[in-house]
Amino acid sequence: MQFLFPSFLWGLLAISVPIIIHLFNFRRTKKVFFTNVAFLKAVETETSSFRRIKQWLILAARVLFLLFLALAFAQPFLPAKNAGPNRLSGLGVSSLYLDNSLSMQNTTENKRYLDLAVTKIDELLTLFSQSPNVQLVTNDFSGEDQAVTNTTKVKDRLTSIGLSPNPRTFENVYKRQRSLAQKHNASASNQFFWFSDFQKSTAGDLKQLKIDSLDKLFLVPVQGKTSQNVYVDSVWLASPFIREMQNNVLYVKVFNSGDNDVEKLPVKLFIDNAQASTASVDIAPNSSATATFNFTVKDKGFHKGKVSFDDQPITFDNDYYFVLDASPLIQVLHLHQQRSAADYIGKVFDNDSLFAYHSYSASNVDVGQFKNANLIVLEGVEQMRITYATFDNSNYRLAGDLLATEWPRVHSVRLELVVRSMENNIVEAKQPYMFAGAEVTPADGDRYLRQVFTSTIGIRSRATNIQ
């Protein structure tokens, strides 16, 4: 037998009080003189025998009253047969977790899930009316969670709990409850009660949760009838670039998780807190639909976007937030030996506000512009060859000729370009040229003008780090 509150057993010492009273009769006797002494002795013998039995009964009643009173406060109980030595080392904590995430604002029969959970907790607390080791944990993970108190204070706290924007996984909740319980009694057995709608998408999979063998976890689901809910699944752009002062297209995928059709649901698009476009969608049960929005932005840089609609009774996911980055100017540098008459490269980039297009002759360009260019277009390049040299072999070789073990020992890269004029019959006769260490002779009738460019780039970090 074990006792829930063994300290009350000290009250058994009070049993000594009636025993002392019984052993030492503090009542003072009075002498009374009678003429007939024989008659007095007969009465005295009969009264003394009856009084002794009466006093023993009174003593037993007093002792049993004090004994049962002390046991009532100590609350004896029989431990379970499978209780290990750690379970008998003290009183554990009855920790209650109330899920007050935004999904608990869902309603059933005009009552929020959160209110139903509070009612269930209140009913459970009646079973722990005498327990001083009750704890309440919410999604706020506030300092009040650390208090191990009685049921009265827990009930008072329940009246002030509202919805929390902080989602918590089941693993985090269990770790917090166990951590707080171990501070109270590290070796005792604890009881954890969870009141939640058990949203797998936000709180995690209960099957993956590992519970200590000393703890008992009780799940109390708070659920109602299946509700109609519409939410934004994803958004994406028709083009990877957002251009200022031009039409841009945004697609929004909206999903209906309910069992009923959703017809002509108005969906609004806001850019920088101003409504930019609107659309309506029809969504079949357990399926999705895509809304299309056309919008413009006035400036480059980041813009706040929001997709919003009105869907009852679940409203926490009716707004979907995102950020749009209006593309800055893309610097395009066009290099040519002889510019084509059609100027097809200029037509691609010069008439679009997204690009800052600059065209130069390859023989008359400021190389300082290379570092500011996002894209360099070489026109008229007939051949290009990239080779590599290693510390073990100074000959420049193609990438396919290098072994995998040789790549860390590459110390320089050589780039060779053959640039050809756009039109034929520029030179009087075919023009041989050197490329890749060999002389190349053009075919008959080939009177294009060619020029070979060669550049070797050293990898300094490799040159200093590898011996």
Alpha-carbon gap, residue 57 to 108, rounded angstroms: 63
Alpha-carbon gap, residue 120 to 126, rounded angstroms: 10
Residue 89 has pLDDT above 80, yes or no: no
User: Among 145-149, 246-250, 360-364, 389-393, which stretch is predicted with the lowest mean pLDDT?
Assistant: 360-364
DSSP β-bridge partners for residue 326: 242, 301
Alpha-carbon gap, residue 149 to 184, rounded angstroms: 11
25 band by pLDDT with thresholds 50, 70 and 90: low
Q: What is the pLDDT of residues 91-101, one digit of tens each?
A: 678 899 999 99
Residue 151 has pLDDT above 70, yes or no: yes
377 band by pLDDT with thresholds 50, 70 and 90: confident
Q: What is the pLDDT of residues 363-372, one digit of tens each?
A: 777 777 888 8
The confidence score (pLDDT) of residue 397 equals 92
Mean pLDDT value of segment 115-132? 86
The confidence score (pLDDT) of residue 283 equals 93
The confidence score (pLDDT) of residue 86 equals 40
Q: Which two tokens stand for residue 96?
A: 């209650």
Q: Which two tokens stand for residue 306?
A: 């929001």
Residues 248, 277 contacting (CB under 8 angstroms)? no
Domain segments of the chain as ranges:
2-77, 91-221, 230-319, 329-379, 382-467
- Among 26, 23, 22, 7, smallest CA distance to 62 is for 22
Mean pLDDT value of segment 241-251? 87
256: three-class secondary structure by DSSP: strand
Topology classification of domain 91-221: Rossmann fold (3.40.50)
Q: What is the pLDDT of residues 68-88, one digit of tens each?
A: 888 888 878 776 555 444 444
Q: Which two tokens stand for residue 340?
A: 């084509």
Alpha-carbon gap, residue 113 to 375, rounded angstroms: 57
Does the domain at 230-319 match CATH 2.60.40.10? Answer given as yes
